[in-house]
Amino acid sequence: MIGGIETDWARLSPHVAVVGPDDAAPRPAVLLFHGCGGVQEHLFDYARDLADRGLRVFVVDSYAPRGWSRPYALATVCTGLAFRGPARAADVLAAVWGVSQRSDVDATRLALAGWSHGAWSINELMARDLPPEAEGLLSGVRALGCVYAYVGPGATRAAWRRGAPALVIAAEKDHLASPAQQARAYSSLQALGHEVETWLAAATHAFDQPGVTFPMRRDEAMAAECRRRLAEFFAARLG
């Protein structure tokens, strides 16, 4: 199992962007997982805000290692034809392992944040039955950020087996998942005894992303508020 994780990380690591203080101190780390459209500039807005709070941030690109372009991803991943959440969960686990090996990271203080498809992948990992050697890899995860997670058809309905305090950011006008669906998706996390803080943005799905098209719309004010809330949530739980 660990051998497979190492192989996955070897493929991912050349395409992981690191944002944070320019030092070698072992700092708490936040791993960011993009939506189905791939890495876009808004993730680096989040990364810079988190880095300003002394956190080391890793933006994990799942497409570049596979040679996938944004048009390809929009046509296949965003439509559910390829690379669904359960498959990408392996990237999340590999990234946790790889980042934890770094001397400039405190592996006991990690957070994971995902947007749409990225949050779906995190959810799938948390509900998956893992062998003991992999289970221990997630022990340092102290907080989760789930931003307009995809929780629609095909997403897991299984109860979470592990977790951490979570900030769930839903959108009032999300055409992919209603706020009620979001609440149901995270109910098993609450059943495990973890705090689930929810913020309902008066916006559409992907409200913080550039270049979105109808029915989605970028909302600058909501995007700024989302960044602030996520940074404060992680700083409080990783400090």
| pLDDT tens-digit series, residues 74-115 | 999 999 999 999 999 999 999 999 999 999 999 999 999 999
Sketch the domain layout of the chain as residue ranges.
2-238
- Per-residue confidence band for 131, with pLDDT thresholds at 50, 70 and 90: confident
- Which region among 43-47, 61-65, 127-131 has the lowest average model confidence (pLDDT)? 127-131
Query: In the block, which residue shows the tokens 């062998």?
Result: 131
Q: What number of other Cβ atoms are within 10 A of residue 104's Cβ?
A: 15
What class has domain 2-238? alpha beta
Q: Which residue has the higher pLDDT, 223 or 187?
A: 223
CB-count burial class (<10 Å; 0-12, 13-18, 19+) for 30: buried
What is the pTM assigned to this prediction?
Answer: 0.96
Q: Each residue of 186-209: pLDDT tens digit?
A: 988 888 899 999 999 999 999 999
**Percent of the chain that is helix, strand, coil (3-state, to 5):** 40, 20, 35
- Half-sphere exposure of 81 toward its Cβ, with a 13 Å CA cutoff? 6
Q: What is the mean pLDDT of the chain?
A: 95
Mean of the pLDDT values across residues 208-232? Answer: 96
Residue 116 has pLDDT above 60, yes or no: yes
pLDDT tens digits for 10-47? 999 999 999 999 999 999 999 999 999 999 999 999 99
pLDDT of amino acid 1:
57
95 SS3 class: helix
Instruction: Indicate if the pLDDT at residue 138 is higher than 80.
Output: yes
How do beta strands 105-115 and 141-147 pair? parallel
Per-residue pLDDT reduced to its tens digit, 157-166: 888 999 999 9
Residue 217 C-alpha from the chain's centroid: 21
